[in-house]
């Protein structure tokens, strides 16, 4: 299962789909990473969104691993 993260909404959609899958299988996922609130608005070095998307991808991979036992054949 692929979840391309292209923007904030795609990340929110991914959390929702995987949390719903987890719930239906009785699996508990940790809370998704919080969205950044400290955008500097000036094109800074080390964008807060880069860290956020890295954390979102890690969350996705962890969730997919936990749900891998429940994939359909």
Contact footprint for ligand SF4 (CB under 6 A)? 39-44, 47-49
What is the CA angle 27-31-33, rounded to 5?
A: 140
DSSP state of 46: S
Collect all residues with Cβ–Cβ distance below 8 Å to 59 and sequence separation of at least 6: 15, 29, 30, 32, 33
CB of 12 to ligand SF4, least distance (A): 17
CB of 38 to ligand SF4, least distance (A): 7
Nearer to ligand SF4, 50 or 61 (CB): 50
Cβ-based nearer residue to ligand SF4, 41 or 73: 41
């Amino acid at each position: 299962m692929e979840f391309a993260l292209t923007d904030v909404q795609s990340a929110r959609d991914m959390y929702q789909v995987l949390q719903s899958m987890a719930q239906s299988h009785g699996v508990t996922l940790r809370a998704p990473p919080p969205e950044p609130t400290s955008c500097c608005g000036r094109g800074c070095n080390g964008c807060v969104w880069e860290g956020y998307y890295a954390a979102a991808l890690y969350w996705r991979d962890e969730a997919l691993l936990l749900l891998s036992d429940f994939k359909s054949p």
